A and B are shown apart, each in its own frame.
Chain A
Amino acid sequence: MAEANAIAKGKKENKSNSQLMGVWIRLKKNRLAIFGLVILILLILMAIFADILAPYGYDEQNLQNTFQTPNLEHPFGTDEFGRDILSRIIYGSRISLQVGIIAVGIAVIIGGFLGAVAGYFSGKVDNIIMRCMDVLLSIPQMLLAISIVAALGNSLANLMIAVGVSSIPQYARIVRASVISIKNQEFVESAKATGSNDLRIIFKHVIPNCLAPVIVQATLGIGLAILTAAGLSFIGLGIKPPTPEWGAMLSGGRMYIRDYPHLTLFPGIAIVVTIFAFNVLGDGLRDALDPKLKQ
């Protein structure tokens, strides 16, 4: 009997493991997604070990050495203040990843909560929340982010808030849709029958079961958030110099594009590679998590 129980327990553990394993196995088959994952891991390592990896400080000026084209000493060249572009890009990965992850974090937490409440309670609450989301959605995201930064003032924190708040409605919509499809299933009913309260049901049963689309959207969303933040910095509404933000670097290099295009080339490549990695990983996760494609 004890043995049978142990086997049953083992099977149960296996089951939750095997779900994750199944996703991982399907993801592994997607070479492009793995490529994206590898790039992201490298980027994260680059951000963590920026102090060790960067050959120079990000604000180390050398006015005798301005506008150097790429050479052995400065692989990506130097900018108008003689700062090493490679080092600035390496430090810039910290800012970009931070902005992307925190902004999406804000959006997922607030948007997810609103969406879950709207979907779970339906009726009036749903109507009020979703009409508010409709209003937010009818201002193009970039403009909403610009207006928020304009109202709060330029700083790293405000940039993250602006990008995060402007993407709340997307997550609210996604979570609401999956909550609606989940809340009428039997396991939610049985939780209700055993006396769980609404909050417990939402957090313990409903949210974990609608994570898949949120994970996919968040992965793609981090890329989008980095792009929006870079765009804001590019028009001078994001992070101020000398902080090495990729969009701000592009904006600074723009004036010298005729003579020194390397100032704009390398930060741009950094942005494209990062967004690309998040996009292919997000696509891969979507395919791996989609039960329709499981067979």
Chain B
Amino acid sequence: MRFDLIFKHADMFIDGIVMTLELTVASLAIGMLIAMPVAVLRTMRLPYIDAVLRGYVFVFRGTPMLVQTYLVYYGLSQFEFIRDSFLWAVLRSPFNCALIAFSLNTGAYTAEILRGAIEATPKGEIEAAQAIGMSPLRMLRRIVIPGAFRRALPQYGNEVILMLHGSTVASIITIQDILGAGRTLNGKYYLAYEGLVTAAVLYLALTFLIAGAFGIAARHLQAHLRPASTR
């Protein structure tokens, strides 16, 4: 192992970490913005709208994120009317393409996680809210959603890790994320291990950090599930 080369290019890996985190966090944030209305609407089972949303979730959960990314990055450029439109300014950048594909992907998974958590709201808690005269919207905001977020936390933590791992697809469309940095290092010096091992270690470390953070968050937010220390 040529550790000297890894340290010589430490800044490349640091830039890679920043890029990976940027892409992951932004995708998760946009994905959450997509997921919340999708999840809530899906629990309402509205005709037509539900079919559309089910289709969205089915397509994005049923196909590889790599293919979804290809479709946005390579696929959309096939159409002249897109290349000629203002959209091209957005779609020309690999980062934006990755962001669009990743957000739609994690949005679909997160929507399903949230929907499950919303539907797991105890019926009695809803009745108690109705009984004091809460409106449906207020009930959603005060009782259903806050409860659902807490219930969804462990699964969402998992989704965050999957998104981090999935974001490696970005390096395939030339984005210099952690994996991109590793591949660049290997390519530059004709190495077989160093760059990729470094990338693997960094991803492993980030995975641990995320898992740990969600563990701590769960302990705070799910305090209501813990028996009291004192009686």
Q: Do A and B come from one complex?
A: no
